[in-house]
Amino acid sequence: MALSLNPALDVNYLSQIYGDDASIIQIIFEAFLSDSLPRWKSLKSLIEEENIAEAASVVHGIKPSFTMAGLTGIRLKVEALERDIHNEVETKEIVAHYLRINEDVERIIPILEEEAEKLGHLAS
């Protein structure tokens, strides 16, 4: 039985890596929402404060979680943001880049929340 997940997610990737294991996918989504998302949100102020070393560390640390949660399209954008930070692109340009990615992140949050809840019911 194949899980029916929102097509806004990289369903092929999730299926390839986790199969039909609803409980594992639920854990991944919840971990993204409870751990990676707050770290993502903290990134904007680090960039604005020009705390480049910490911003680079945060973005590097959370980058894999985008892929793990089936957000492979956003992951590519986060990689580009990381390059901008490492290349010390002008702060206002990095903030603008962050904000563009954050629009995608904000759109996907309700989908992850809904899918995690749905998967929780399947797993129990």
34-84 pLDDT tens trace? 999 999 999 999 999 999 999 999 999 999 999 999 999 999 999 999 999
Say if pTM beats, i.e. exceeds, 0.85: yes
pLDDT tens, residue by residue, 31-47:
999 999 999 999 999 99
What one-letter code names the amino acid at 121? Answer: H
Q: 3: pLDDT confidence band, cut at 50, 70 and 90?
A: confident
Q: How far apart are CA 115 and CA 10, in angstroms?
A: 13
Torsion of CA 105, 106, 110, 116, to 10 degrees: 30
